[in-house]
Amino acid sequence: MSVEQDNEGYRSFARGGITGVISINTLALGAVLSRLPDLRNLADPDEVFLAFMAWISGVVFGVLAWLAAALAAQAHANRATSREKFVATLGYLFFLGSLTCFAEC
């Protein structure tokens, strides 16, 4: 496999993963907004605020995961193995953070 094929694999993985993370968190926001009139009477406003904060954090983590994946792909293309491993690990942590935020919504 060439470096360009490896790099395209990273890009492909990053696109799919980040699209999934942002979609999941967007769906969580949609669920909260669609139930907002009911939540006004049933839920504490602080809980609704925390749900919005979890959603915002999830999207931020998703974007950071995308950035880490792009940097890992760049490091891979430049054969900077130690930097690639470090940034890829950060990307996985950001991805898991985003999924955790979804679970908190």
Single pTM value for the model: 0.66
Tokens representing 29 are 């926001």
Per-residue pLDDT, 78: 80
Per-residue pLDDT, 97: 93
Tens digit of each residue's pLDDT, the chain (105 residues): 566 666 677 677 667 777 777 787 778 777 777 777 766 676 677 877 887 888 888 888 988 988 888 888 888 878 888 999 999 999 999 989 988 987 876
Per-residue pLDDT, 83: 92
The residues, any chain, with a CB within 8 Å of residue 52's CB and separated by 6 or more, are: 29, 32
Q: H or E element: which one contains 70?
A: helix 45-77
Per-residue pLDDT, 102: 77
The residues, any chain, with a CB within 8 Å of residue 62's CB and separated by 6 or more, are: 18, 21, 22, 25, 94, 95, 98
Per-residue pLDDT, 86: 95
